[in-house]
Amino acid sequence: MSDRLLVALAQLNPVMGDISGNVAKLLAAWREAARRGADLLITSELYVTGYPPEDFVLKPRVRKAVREAVESLMRETASGPAILLGAPWEEEGKLYNAALLLDGGGIAGIAYKYDLPNYGVFDEKRIFVPAAEPKVLAWRGHRLGVMLCEDMWKPGVAAKLKEQAAEILLVLNGSPFEPGKQYQRYDLARERMSETGLALVYVNQVGGQDELVFEGASFAMDARGELVTQATAWNEEIAYVNCLFDQTRYNLEPSSPAVLPEGEALTYGALCTGLRDYVVKNGFSSVLLGLSGGIDSALTAALAVDALGANKVRGVMMPSPYTSGESLDDAAAVAKALGMRLDTIPIAEAMGSFDHMLAEQFMGCSPDETEENIQARIRGVLLMALSNKSGSMVLATGNKSELAVGYATLYGDMCGGFAPLKDVYKTEVYKLAQWRNGAKLLQAMGPTGEVFSERLMTKAPTAELKPFQTDQDTLPPYDVLDDILKCLIEQDLGLAETTMVGHDPATVRRIYTMLDHAEYKRRQGAPGTKVTRRLMGRERRYPITNRYADKWRHSNTD
């Protein structure tokens, strides 16, 4: 047994289902770790398939492919660093979320996940069988206390590993991003170290998977809870930590921890990463979007350029007779600032054609939102036609505030393959735009400098579907709306509780009803990156057919 271990934290971005590609990427990381003299390389949770695999791993042929890939990896890495590998693993007809310790051409030990999460975005109890008991892995004279993600969030698993004379805690994770979550991880790690007196190494996945995004930010803490190693956020990398044995446990040598972004910089990184990986991992090389001259489409364009590069982003301005000169100028200014292509396709002729086609059917009816929605749907048809011809993915540009209350047109501005702002409230849209005007992510592909003009940041939001229209004709001010929505969605408060926060009861009832009645729209909307505590749809699963909110439509009671 050596009194020193060099552990490599393989913070990698797997592609769901690309089992051979993920293993090839891991092999490259393993060879780099071997050149650095590492003894052990640790991956993230379920790295072989990607996380979360959902029902994908229930296919027998997938489980067979995983086993064949692991066997091939064992042969390739028979001499050199051992690998603590996250993989779905079948034994005796049962499927486990496993950490496989590969060494010397074989499997030196297996630890199964003990605490399977079944809340929020997690649904592991329908997929995996839990471990009967946590188990220390004995390896090369060491005793490794291995945990998988949720195992660290409660005291039971770490305590049982300590009872088995674990010398260090190693945690494989697929922990999705939320603002402030990294500090929660630190706190939980310190709790486990306080309970056990053991140092802890935490390896997290990085990259986007459907609506989830993982920031990486892997780390190691010594037994006192001091951060000694910190990997970056939103980047693939291999971080290293030196572990020195001292009688019954390992102490960790300090390195130079990376500084993680915070606030809007962190959220902007999440949105860029989620957008980039959704587009690229689904086989698209470019995107297009309707650039209206408003702040939502402008921020979406900036995110796309930063994520993919200006040459892969195309904006389309589709003016109607109600589109202002300011909107035309603002859209052009944003496109110029970002260096992206902008085409213009007027829709007045199409509007006239629809008026003519529907004249007999609409006879005796006054114009209303029907004609407004037709405009939005004309634009949706045009964008999808351009997508079909070019192969570019359409980005929907709506924000969380609008989607929550149904202030969006189904098959119109909601159409698209991905909605980058789906989980971003309108007030946060402005904060992100303000941040992007003065800063840029290091890995961003877009230009530096101001993107959003003062006028764009301050003018009244409007759909411009009729003369003199603003969003506040229909909705309360966005700061009020967003605060009410956060009460109803993030905190799941009732009407009385939300009113007690300080909001007008009638306004709260109206927003609650709008939120409830827009469920059918959201169910048909595009996916988008989760950046809040509760993403509508994946984490807020409400029935479409639901009469519960009806009692408040004409009532003053909660």
- Three-state secondary structure call for residue 101: strand
236: closest CA among 42, 35, 29, 32?
Answer: 29
**What percent of the chain shows pLDDT beyond 70?**
95
Q: What is the mean pLDDT of residues 206-225?
A: 94
Q: What is the mean pLDDT of residues 233-239?
A: 95
Exposure letters 355-386 (e unless 16+ CB within 10 A, then b) = eeeeeeeeeeeeeeeebbbbbbbbbbebbbeb
Q: Is the pLDDT reported for residue 490 higher than 90?
A: no
pLDDT, position 101? 97
E strand residue ranges, 185-235 = 200-204, 206-209, 212-215, 219-221, 227-230
pLDDT tens for each residue of 253-298: 888 788 899 999 999 999 999 999 999 999 999 999 999 999 999 9
pLDDT, position 515? 86
Is the previous residue joined to 261 through a cis bond, with omega within 30 degrees of 0?
no
Element (H, E) at 190: helix 181-196
502: closest CA among 528, 470, 480?
Answer: 480
How many Cβ atoms are within 10 Å of 127's Cβ, its own excluded?
A: 19
Catalytic residue among 113, 135, 312, 486: 113
Query: Measured between alpha carbons, how far is 373 from 415 in angstroms, rounded to an integer?
Result: 13
Token output for 339: 């260096």
Q: Is the pLDDT reported for residue 32 higher than 90?
A: yes
Bridge-based pairing of strands 237-246 and 249-252 is antiparallel
Looking at residue 74, its amino acid is M
Q: Is the pLDDT reported for residue 204 higher than 80?
A: yes
Instruction: Between 553 and 528, name the one with better pLDDT.
Output: 528
At residue 50, what are phi and psi to the nearest 5 degrees? 100, 160
Catalytic residue among 25, 124, 135, 149: 149
Indicate if 113 belongs to the active site.
Answer: yes
Q: Is the pLDDT reported for residue 553 higher than 70?
A: no
Q: Is the pLDDT reported for residue 558 higher than 50?
A: no
Instruction: Between 73 and 517, name the one with better pLDDT.
Output: 73
**What percent of the chain shows pLDDT beyond 90?**
63
Model confidence band, residue 538 (pLDDT cutoffs 50, 70, 90): confident
pLDDT tens for each residue of 351-366: 999 999 999 899 889 8
- Domains of the chain with CATH codes: 4-256 (3.60.110.10), 264-552 (3.40.50.620)
Of the CA atoms within 13 Å of residue 353, those in its CB half-sphere come to 6
Model confidence band, residue 466 (pLDDT cutoffs 50, 70, 90): low
Instruction: Between 16 and 248, name the one with better pLDDT.
Output: 16
| Helix spans in 359-406 (H) | 369-390, 400-405
Q: What is the mean pLDDT of residues 244-248?
A: 80
pLDDT, position 384? 96
Catalytic residue among 45, 150, 402, 539: 45
pLDDT mean across residues, the chain: 90
pLDDT tens for each residue of 381-406: 999 999 999 999 999 999 999 999 99
Select the highest-mean-pLDDT range: 20-24, 372-376, 454-458, 503-507. Answer: 20-24
Least confident of 52-61, 178-187, 464-473: 464-473
